[in-house]
Amino acid sequence: MEKDIRSDLFSQTPFQLRTSCNSKNSFLVAVRADYPKRVYQIEDELKTVIQNRISSDHIQSIHTVSAVDLESFCQ
């Protein structure tokens, strides 16, 4: 993903790009704990945001990552 796309990918959304991992072609997105939706709703909304900005062909999966796994995300 190009740097300018990454920096603007989640503007105007409740999501925040935390990190990207080029070796895995992945990125980590955060949402505030008080966001009033359930996890499956957040995943659907996140998928829609990404599809609106980049081709849906590039989305292979969306996973929930626990806080303890954040440090090892790109490893």
What's the gap between Cα 54 and its chain centre? 12
pLDDT single digits (tens) 22-52: 877 788 888 888 989 898 898 899 888 888 8
Q: What is the pLDDT, as a whole number, of residue 73?
A: 80
Q: How far apart are CA 72 and CA 45, in angstroms?
A: 25
pTM, rounded to two decimals:
0.68
Q: What is the pLDDT, as a whole number, of residue 54?
A: 75
